[in-house]
Amino acid sequence: GESVGLHLPTLSVQEGDNSIINCAYSNSASDYFIWYKQESGKGPQFIIDIRSNMDKRQGQRVTVLLNKTVKHLSLQIAATQPGDSAVYFCAENRGSGGGADGLTFGKGTHLIIQP
Amino acid sequence: GAVVSQHPSRVICKSGTSVKIECRSLDFQATTMFWYRQFPKQSLMLMATSNEGSKATYEQGVEKDKFLINHASLTLSTLTVTSAHPEDSSFYICSATGKGYTIYFGEGSWLTVV
């Protein structure tokens, strides 16, 4: 079936360095993508989103890139901090009708910030 | 900002009993609520979609008679795990959607069946 997957299960970076987390998706009809951060025992925390009519969106220290040609999504975190350590999930809208269709989540990448 | 609240955050129940988890949207009306399940070190998997006043739509492989979902108002959806077994132990997370693309997640509920 359709799925969203991640290339790396664990990513370790030095504090202060930039990190990039990648995600491949398979539903070409999806019109909305979201990156979430999840700390142990907690619900997903919204980081940044992007619609399919865009290829880049920036937030505070984070940038999401969308390449629809190869169905690839990435999350860039600049100047990583210890608080960035968490599991990061990409998610895509299951349909093309906004938020009414539920999300398909990727497998997750555990980002570890080394002091 | 908008908040989605789940209760209880942790619950332990005996095998064979039923347990109810509530999901509330605190300051907005949620036209649609979703229930996800997450096993340790795994991703979130959508279980069902709940629309106010109508029957929930379950994902393939999710038993609707075991996971009862009720969405009686625009601010409350409940998930009842009936005749719970140890394999139902998991982290259950709800999300709520208002108008447009905005999706809000709850903090999750840990269920342990002993």
CB pair distance less than 8 Å for A45 and B105:
yes
Q: Residue A96: left (phi > 0), alpha (psi -120 to 50), or beta? A: alpha
Nearest chain A CA: its distance from B102 CA (Å): 7
User: Is B80 in CB contact (< 8 Å) with chain A?
Assistant: no
CB pair distance less than 8 Å for B31 and A100:
yes
Nearest CA in chain A to B95: A102
Beta bridge partners of A50: A33
Q: Does residue B8 have a cis bond before it (omega within 30 degrees)? A: yes
Chain B residues inside the 8 Å CB shell of A32: 101
The edge-to-edge listing of strands for the beta sheet with A19-25 is A4-6, A19-25, A72-77, A62-67, A56-58
Angle, alpha carbons B90-B92-B93 (nearest 5°): 150
The alpha-helical segments, DSSP class H, found in B1-101 are none
User: Is B31 in CB contact (< 8 Å) with chain A?
Assistant: yes
Instruction: Name the band, by pLDDT with cuts 50, 70 and 90, for residue A1.
Output: very low
Alpha carbons B112 and B104: distance in angstroms, whole number:
25
For testing contact with chain A, the best of B6, B25, B44, B77 (most A CBs within 10 A): B44
CA A86 to the chain's CA centroid: 12
Q: Which of residues 48-67 of A touch B (CB under 8 A)?
A: 49, 51
Beta bridge partners of B26: none
Q: What ranges make up the beta strands (E) of B26-108? A: 32-38, 44-51, 57-58, 67-73, 76-81, 90-97, 103-105
CB pair distance less than 8 Å for B43 and A102:
no
Alpha carbons B49 and B47: distance in angstroms, whole number:
7
User: Is A105 in CB contact (< 8 Å) with chain B?
Assistant: yes
- Structure-token pair, residue B2: 């908008």
Mean pLDDT is lowest, of A3-12, A14-23, B59-68, B103-112, for A3-12
pLDDT digits (tens, 9 = 90+) for A11-70: 999 999 999 999 999 888 888 999 999 998 899 999 999 999 999 999 999 999 999 999
Nearest CA in chain B to A102: B34
SS3 at position A53 = coil
Specify the pLDDT at position A7.
Answer: 47
Specify the pLDDT at position A6.
Answer: 44
Nearest CA in chain B to A4: B43
CB pair distance less than 8 Å for B46 and A103:
yes
Average pLDDT over residues B18-33: 92
